[in-house]
Structure 1
């Protein structure tokens, strides 16, 4: 219930973004911007990304692109030598001969070069596969006219072409998590994370946080976001500044990516343990609303497991109360799900047309069925009487009350099937039944286990193939599960 209510509250606040913002303090500034792009074996995507950047709407000579090669073993050097020759004075190639230390170390190599010179007034940290729309940079840098702003992030949209089931799930998730939730955080006065794929910093802010990216966690983008706010600078998202990124279509690759993110968030919790729920330490990060929001999302799997255990325990200890509790909890969840889904469709209709089915199926068709059972209980006169210990009725009741936990285990099984080479059609059908949300929670459990076991920290990057596109006109796909 806690994550559900916290998430629901976020969506209720989104509407205030039109009134509570700092847009009166922005201006049409065009500071000199240095893009820094870390790359390791990105030869397939670097060329298109660089070419797309060359068409952005920004004064010529006012921006540069620094590619930092983390000792790639593919043909990245050949691609980059060609691009440096094609765009002299605009594209710079920096190569680390000793690589494998991680994304943050690679970024720091570039930042050291950039900040050693006086040229750059702002720095854009991006990923190799990210494509910028023409006006995105202008829309981001205008916020730096406000001296209180130290960092700005863009709205990252899923741009894989052709879109498939998993990438469309991710596309819907990005509507809810960025276009909606980060608007709420703007209203609250800051952000939990500036997306690592499009993270703009003023030069003054980078110097204030030490001129380098933290290398102790797997969530260097979130760590930098927290640091920025702790030195007194504001961070925000411009939802009209859009970049497009390729996301994995393999559950195995998706699992590795999100496991890294999940572990990184747990490391952030530990690294900043002295500020949680302490407004005196940080007006934003230390306030109770932000803390509840952060912990409810980061620890959502634990809340779901606790909810299932509590529901089954109530069924055994106080059977007459269990039905009422089940009805209330499921009813609240259903209302929140419907409101957030419809709100997300409304806040970005073009993206929603591509992923409308995935938005509806986000919690899983089986979870929707469980919520429907709860909705129908008052009308069908269902009475929850304690059946015999081994009856089919008892098993059904336990399955329904414990579905939150069961769905996480089921999602893990779908992942293992995909990793074992199950056909895509079977994996996709099961993912629709079990749900993308439970899959995220299964990854969250794996992240907690990995942190408890203190598994190795490494830059386990997601392999990209150059499938991202900036669509000229988004159209709803002819739907199929493939």
Structure 2
């Protein structure tokens, strides 16, 4: 059980060890300047605060004006979204189209399909860019993405979504670091392997042929429509490419509750995708790279991380009851491995995106939590705390360190609860929640959300699309 618990650490080390090979193993040699007619689909439900600026930035991209059109699919908005889009249509005649859905609230995938159906019927578009209403594409991002479509074997391209707030709060700094690790770094490694786990929902460029091949629509049966599109593209024999230098800035949640809502949707989607594509895992003889062992290990090391943490704690405590010396040695080995992997991944991540590195280095250091760092330290210096404690205190401390990988997840839930704590008129949660996140860790917080997704899926909770509220901080 302890060894199984260590597998995600080893796989994380393996994945990030692949990143430097992206210098040689990438798709750039097959790319070329290429400017297909691109239709941009922007799903919008009550996005009046952000959609106008997004349109302005899109029409100013470094891309031929006559080969770019913006289609805003208004999902029965009740704010000023229709007025904002129509005004932009008058400002940019022939380049901005307002598509209204009278029945809304069905989720992003249904909204996108309304626009995709119209675009494919028109026949003008040679490629379709699916994005979110609030994201900001850097001027050269689209042409860096389209150059990969010059290779007819490529079906879809995605970009690097970076947290873009000018003055990020503590939680958005954590998200900023996470995005560099999970996208700029991990997706480089997936490029090296030749298989991609997921097109970023706010930046997915499909060739027309690919969209038609995957059914001419986006999946509506799961909460991870972007991942389903990614899998279907590759199962159809077409490549999916990550372009790390096409940068798209996004606004991310500043509160734990909002982050929990967003990531719970993502995590439940991953549970649904894992179940839906259960026929391909670890079957390279049938599904080539997508069914390969490397990709399967990477996928499940994230997907099953909470269970692996639980197994590791139970295993260590079980061994302690049988042979405390063996338990202590294994504990030291596992945490020394974790510490080395943590240092390697952190150093690699901070170098990949210097801008984010400068903004988020404190959160990078504290990503596993200050308590976890203390536990790591006890692996290096076994008697650091035990010599200061009486026998009963030593036993309690040892059991606590063995159980921490499991205890950190319910502890992370406390951070969500603490956010709304008030004492009279004093909003205690404003400082209590950040303190808990730094102590417990952002990584354990994500694991707790994943565990919550397991529970929600087991109970058969409704697939509700909870929209993340946006305020336009990136535009400012």
Q: Could you tell me the TM-score, scaled by structure 2's length? A: 0.95
Name 1:449's counterpart in structure 2: 455
**1:292-331 to 2 correspondences below 5 Å:** 292-331=297-336
How many matched pairs? 465
RMSD after superposition: 1.6
Query: Who is 1:392 aligned against?
Result: 393
2:96 maps to which residue?
A: 91
Contact 1:153 1:194 in 2 (8 A): yes
Question: Which whole-Å CA distance do the structure 2 matches of 1:97 and 1:154 have between them?
Answer: 32
Task: Check conservation: 2:264, 2:452, Cα contact below 8 A.
Answer: yes
Give me the whole-angstrom Cα distance separating, in 2, the residues matched to 1:170 and 1:74.
29
Map 1:20-35 onto structure 2 (within 5 A): 20-35=25-40
Query: Is the Cα contact below 8 Å between 1:150 and 1:205 reproduced in 2?
Result: yes
Instruction: After superposition, give the CA deviation of every residue in 1:165-209 in whole Å (9 maximum; x if it has no partner).
Output: 000000000111111100000011120001010000000000110
Structure 1, unaligned runs of 5 or more: 471-482
Q: Give the aligned partner of residue 21 of structure 2.
A: 16
The aligned residue for residue 476 of structure 1 is none
Decide whether the 8 Å contact of 1:152 with 1:238 is kept in 2: yes
1:462 is aligned to: 468
Matching of residue 213 in structure 1 with residue 215 in structure 2:
no
Which among 50, 59, 64 is matched to residue 64 of structure 2? 59
Q: CA deviation at 1:392?
A: 2.5
> Are the counterparts in 1 of residues 386 and 397 from structure 2 also a CA contact under 8 Å?
no
Matched, 1:225 2:230: yes
CA distance in 2, matches of 1:304, 1:381: 23
Q: Give deviations 1:363-399, integer Å, cap 9, x for gaps.
A: 001100100111112x86979x9x97xx332221111
1:257-406 aligned at under 5 Å gives the runs 257-377=262-382, 391-406=392-407
Matches of 1:176 and 1:244, distance apart in 2: 16
Please identify which structure carries the higher helix content: 2
Describe the SS at the equivalent of 1:238: strand
Q: Does 1:193 align with 2:194?
A: no
Q: In the aligned structure 2, how far is the partner of 1:41 from the partner of 1:306?
A: 44
Structure 2 partner of 1:410: 411
CA displacement 1:402-436 (0-9 Å, x = unmatched):
11111111101111111456432221111111100
Runs of 5+ unmatched residues, structure 2: 1-5, 423-427
Hey, what does 1:151 align to over in structure 2? 156
Does the aligned pair in 2 maintain the 1:14–1:184 contact within 8 Å? yes
The answer as to whether partners of 1:192 and 1:226 remain within 8 angstroms in 2 is yes
**Matches of 1:155 and 1:381, distance apart in 2:** 43
Return closer, same or farther for 1:370/1:72 CA change in 2, 3 Å cut-off.
same
CA contact (8 A) 2:59 2:65 kept: no
Q: Is the 1:252–1:419 Cα contact (8 Å) retained in structure 2?
A: no
Q: How does 1:117-128 map to 2 (within 5 A)?
A: 117-128=122-133
Q: Per the alignment, do residues 49 and 381 of structure 1 end up closer, same or farther by CA in structure 2, a change over 3 Å counting?
A: closer
**CA contact under 8 A between 2:378 and 2:385: conserved in structure 1?**
no
**1:246 aligned onto 2:251:** yes
Equivalent residues of 2:195, 2:289 under 8 A apart? yes
Tell whether the 8 Å contact from 1:38 to 1:68 is kept in structure 2 after alignment.
Answer: yes
Residues in 1 aligned to 2:183 and 2:279: alpha-carbon distance in whole angstroms: 27
Distance 2:49 2:341 in 1: 41
C-alpha displacement of 1:281: 2.3
- The SS at the match of 1:274 is coil
CA-CA distance at 1:161 after TM superposition = 2.8
Q: Distance in 2 between matches of 1:175 and 1:346?
A: 10
Secondary structure of the residue aligned to 2:65 is coil
Distance 2:167 2:60 in 1: 23
Q: How much has 1:469 moved relative to structure 2?
A: 4.3
In structure 1, the partner of 2:138 is: 133
> Match for residue 181 of structure 1?
186
Residue 131 to residue 321, structure 1, CA distance change in 2 (3 Å): same
**Structure 2 SS opposite 1:134:** coil
* Deviates further, 81-90 or 136-145: 81-90
